[in-house]
């Protein structure tokens, strides 16, 4: 595939934006591939500015659960735009979306809209600190909770891809209250809590880690965290920016049957428009301004466009629970096909699936933590990615991200994907 127009745009962008992009992973630099500039998308496909068509497994990093340009969403913004795109005031759609989210998610009594997943996690942490009167928090190696200073410590996602788990520009005094534990290691958490008795405000984690690849929390680990938080007065926060409304309508909390004290959501609740939300128990959320003393605000929070599309998408998912069955089955089909190929070729691999999320790890080591993820063969992944990319299959340009399936992906397209994957691996055994 030729990327003449994409490359021209990228060279121009490099003069105007750091690294030529507005989010690091988009540069494709970790895979030494050409940066892709999208022109339009439909169903399971993206078409770039050079006219190349790709079978898309990025899905805007999660929210395109029904595929691109779905008629449920694509033709319904004009009526909102004609009324006005922003007021700086309350709208009825905010109330409806808040109701949909709180009704869907276990234990969620109140919710506050923000503009991104980063804002959601940052604000949830602040609320937990204000509510408990404590400063310290626990996060886990490889879990990415956005780019706010206090959470950008041993993170996943782009920070992991580019080997900068702690970013310059983050003062040591800011992160001194962030304690880092090993994912799926309850004994480690117990020891850290014991060493910081009555000082920890919150434990935040991705119950299905999607930013170091798809790494599921062990049920016993989550149960243990719930027990520890109850015993020590610690707020348990689930970051469901990726897993919320993806793996189940009620997110990972519904899947595992574990009710956190707070939860954070991202772009899927706006059907792909910039949006986020955090919520939780009423007593915690009532500490947030103007009900309480914990200040948090956002001029464009609850913007009408995102609220409108979010309501349409969540209503659809609520009314069509078979969506999740379909995605689970398609995910299992793709996983089984990939396993067959990898076993035939005697490749070192671990293959993780959580509903419509999949990650292939090129390692013989079982993957349960950040340390396990680091055993992966990133050079092999790079070659694998390049072959798929050159043959019209678009996965995340990072070994530490998920593949996202949608209802728009057909079984014929999954079979085609498997064929290209087989060819890619044959090239690099």
Q: Which of the residues are catalytic?
A: 144, 239, 267
At 205, give phi and psi (nearest 5°): -155, 160
* Closest by Cα among 232, 304, 303 to 261: 232
From CA 319, how far away is CA 324, in angstroms rounded?
Answer: 11
Instruction: Look at the block and give the residue holding tokens 């772009």.
Output: 267
| Cα separation values, 360 from 14, 26, 205, 365, Å | 31, 20, 22, 12
Would you state the structure tokens that stand for residue 282, as one six-digit string?
Answer: 């009423």
| Cα separation values, 74 from 60, 63, 324, Å | 15, 14, 21
Count H helices and E strands in the chain, helices first.
Answer: 16, 16
* Closest by Cα among 217, 215, 203 to 256: 217
Sign of the alpha-carbon dihedral angle for 342, 343, 345, 347: positive
Count the residues in the chain.
Answer: 429
DSSP 357: E
Would you state the structure tokens that stand for residue 207, as one six-digit string?
Answer: 């119950």
Q: Are 65 and 402 in contact (CB under 8 A)?
A: no
* Closest by Cα among 122, 120, 113, 124 to 307: 113
DSSP per residue, 230-280: HHHTPEEEEE-TTTBTTTBTTHHHHHHT---SEEEE-GGGGTTSS-EEEEE
* Closest by Cα among 4, 51, 65 to 328: 65
Q: Are 62 and 404 in contact (CB under 8 A)?
A: yes
């Amino acid at each position: 595939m030729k990327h003449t127009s994409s490359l021209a745009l990228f060279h121009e962008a490099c003069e105007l934006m750091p690294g030529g992009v507005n989010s690091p992973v988009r540069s494709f630099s970790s895979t030494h591939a050409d940066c892709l500039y999208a022109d339009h998308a439909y169903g399971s496909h993206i078409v770039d500015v050079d006219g190349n068509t790709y079978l898309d497994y990025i899905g805007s990093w999660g929210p395109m659960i029904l595929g691109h340009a779905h008629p449920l969403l694509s033709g319904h913004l004009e009526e909102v735009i004609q009324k006005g795109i922003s007021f700086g005031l309350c709208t009825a759609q905010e109330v409806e979306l808040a109701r949909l989210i709180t009704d869907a998610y276990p234990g969620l009594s109140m919710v506050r809209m923000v503009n991104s997943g980063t804002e959601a996690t940052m604000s949830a942490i602040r609320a937990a600190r204000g509510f408990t009167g404590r400063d310290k928090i626990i996060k886990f190696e490889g879990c990415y909770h956005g780019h706010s200073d206090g959470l950008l410590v041993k993170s996943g996602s782009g920070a992991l891809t580019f080997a900068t788990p702690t970013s310059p520009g983050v003062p040591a005094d800011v992160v001194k209250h962030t304690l880092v534990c090993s994912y799926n290691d309850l004994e480690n958490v117990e020891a850290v809590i014991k060493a910081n008795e009555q000082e920890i405000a919150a434990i935040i984690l991705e119950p299905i880690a999607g930013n170091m690849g798809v790494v599921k929390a062990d049920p016993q680990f989550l149960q243990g965290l719930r027990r520890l938080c109850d015993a020590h007065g610690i707020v348990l926060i689930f970051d469901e920016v990726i897993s919320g409304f993806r793996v189940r309508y009620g997110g990972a909390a519904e899947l595992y049957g574990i009710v956190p004290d707070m939860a954070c959501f991202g772009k899927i609740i706006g059907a792909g428009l910039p949006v986020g939300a955090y919520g939780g128990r009423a007593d915690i959320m009532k500490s947030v301004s103007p009900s309480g003393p914990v200040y948090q605000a956002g001029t464009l929070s609850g913007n009408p466009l995102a609220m409108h599309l979010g309501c349409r998408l969540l209503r659809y998912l609520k009314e069509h629970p078979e969506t999740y069955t379909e995605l689970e089955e398609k995910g299992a089909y793709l996983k089984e096909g990939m396993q067959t190929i990898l076993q035939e070729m005697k490749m070192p691999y671990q293959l993780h699936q959580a509903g419509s999320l999949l990650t292939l790890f090129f390692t013989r080591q079982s993957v349960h933590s950040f340390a396990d993820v680091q055993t992966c063969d990133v050079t092999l992944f790079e070659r694998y990615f390049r072959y798929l990319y050159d043959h019209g299959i678009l996965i995340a340009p990072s070994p530490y991200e998920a593949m996202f399936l949608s209802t728009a992906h057909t079984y014929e397209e999954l079979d085609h994907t498997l064929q290209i994957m087989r060819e890619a691996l044959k090239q690099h055994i």
